[in-house]
Amino acid sequence: MTEAKLPRLGINIDHIATVRNARGGEHPDPVAGAWAAIQAGADGITAHLREDRRHMRDADMVRLQLLCESENIPLNMELAATDEMLKIALDLKPKAVCVVPERREERTTEGGLDVVGGHNHIAPIVRELAANGSRVSLFIEAVDAQIRAAASTDAQVVEFHTGAYAHAFDDGDQEKADVYLETFRSGAKLADELGLEVHFGHGLTFENVAPVAAIPECMELNIGHFIIGEAIFMGLEPAIKEMRRIATEARA
Ligand code: PXP
């Protein structure tokens, strides 16, 4: 792997599996998608093994881990803070784990993890994952109390949830989007001061990614739905390359 340009680009391939599962067969194979994403310059592969297995399956995660290991690319496994997922991640040993909130009825991960309220439950899980060699990230809102709570665990990373920002931006509500951006900037500074690496993800597109990528502390973007959707029109490789171009230029 060559030295990554900042911010690094993690490609979330869940929705290749969503399309596969719509027919129940093997095509399109998300692991083949991960391979194509790596060829297109992805710095990491992200996959969320949900409790209901609506997209990724257990066997996909094993194959993804083998692929990422052989390509020397980090696999970032997203998971809920449950005993079942903890056991799977401890066996799989992905390079990175991102703990996310999960509700069965939601369409996607809505809102950040409540590390303040759930500290007694989350901190021991983070400790076990970190002791097992995974770099642990907590998917939170860019709120001071959540950042401080994350810093009091063994997590090395916080990923700020950009979903509400993306909604405001996509709705044309620039004023509201700017308020979110301001919380990202101050939250990223605080996290950095507390020794946490800062990532961003959710709902990011060619149109709304630049101001997020421009935040100096932003080390990684994790992007899935838009890129996989856009790949239908322009192909996966051009979609990833265009996202990379925009993110890199935003930082220059
Ligand atoms: N980061 C995290 C922690 C997520 O849960 C998701 C969605 O699975 C993403 C990033 C990617 O979001 P999107 O698919 O909207 O790009």
Nearest atom (ligand 1) to Cα of 222: 10
Q: How far apart are alpha carbons 89 and 83 in whole angstroms?
A: 10
Phi-psi map region of 122: left, alpha, beta (phi>0 left; psi -120 to 50 alpha)? alpha
What is the 3 state secondary structure string of 171-222?
A: CCCHHHHHHHHHHHHHHHHHHHHCCCEEEEECCCCCCCCHHHHCCCCEEEEE
Nearest atom (ligand 1) to Cα of 204: 16
The pLDDT mean for the chain works out to 95
User: How many angstroms separate the alpha carbon of residue 47 from the centre of ligand 1?
Assistant: 9
Tokens 């899980």 belong to residue: 125
- The pTM of this model reads 0.96
Q: pLDDT tens-digit profile of 211-229?
A: 999 999 999 999 999 999 9
pLDDT classification of 110: cutoffs 50, 70, 90: confident
Residue 48 annotated to the active site: yes
- Tell me which of 15, 48, 55, 161 is the catalytic residue: 48
Can you identify the CATH homologous superfamily of domain 8-247? Aldolase class I (3.20.20.70)
